[in-house]
Chains A and B, each alone.
Chain A
Amino acid sequence: AQKITQTQPGMFVQEKEAVTLDCTYDTSDPSYGLFWYKQPSSGEMIFLIYQGSYDQQNATEGRYSLNFQKARKSANLVISASQLGDSAMYFCAMFPPGDSNYQLIWGAGTKLIIKP
């Protein structure tokens, strides 16, 4: 079954340190897309970064980068130089292959708390 696994329910990180949030996925199809979203306590789901399975390079967006290891089926989010405003829930999601409706499969999320 297609699935997204986020093994870290919560993380505490010191401000200005780099953070890696884990995400593994399960699919046997070669074509899929992976997303990371941030959800602050206000509730809005904010799109951070996208990686397509055929993309040759790891995606980057400002302080966010995606450590995409296809053979290991992992798509970890890396946040460089963490800030207090990075405290939030982070969700990994996947467009499953073969789904013509393009409905996302979501992980359970990781709660990140940045300590001053």
Chain B
Amino acid sequence: EAEVAQSPRYKITEKSQAVAFWCDPISGHATLYWYRQILGQGPELLVQFQDESVVDDSQLPKDRFSAERLKGVDSTLKIQPAELGDSAMYLCASSLEGMETQYFGPGTRLLVL
């Protein structure tokens, strides 16, 4: 069964360091989402891609976060510099097209010390 892949699964870093997360969506899925989830809360959308184009990054803290999906397949989310408040679960999801069901990867747990 096709799955969304994410790496790393866990990341511990010190504040002010740079971190990067990778996501490989289900093959053929045009829409890719990055979410941030604080423990005990629902996911918060950070950025949405349609193929290689950004559809919405209005909730992405652009002073420190960046995201790219250069060839319209896999994607990277970067934080530089990391802050204590960035500690969270980062989830990647993909859908065939925007209106279809979103399927999620296993997530990356980030801890900033």
Number of interface residues of B (CB under 8 A): 23
Q: Is the CB of B91 within 8 A of A109?
A: no
Q: Is the interface of A mostly helix, strand, loop or mixed?
A: loop
* Total contacting residues, chain A, CB less than 8 A: 22
**Inter-chain residue pair count (beta carbon < 8 A):** 51
- Assuming the A-B contacts A101-B56, A103-B56, A109-B42, are A44 and B105 also in contact, with contact meaning beta carbons closer than 8 angstroms in the complex? yes
Interface flag for A114 (CB, 8 Å)? no
Q: From B31, B40, B93, give the contact of A109 (CB < 8 A).
A: B40
B residues with CB within 8 A of A: 31, 40-43, 45, 48, 55-56, 89, 91, 93, 95, 98-99, 101-107, 109
Q: Write 20 A-B pairs (CB below 8 A) sorted by A numbering.
A: A33-B99, A42-B106, A43-B89, A44-B105, A44-B106, A45-B93, A46-B104, A47-B101, A95-B99, A100-B98, A101-B55, A101-B56, A102-B95, A103-B56, A104-B102, A106-B43, A107-B42, A108-B41, A108-B42, A109-B41
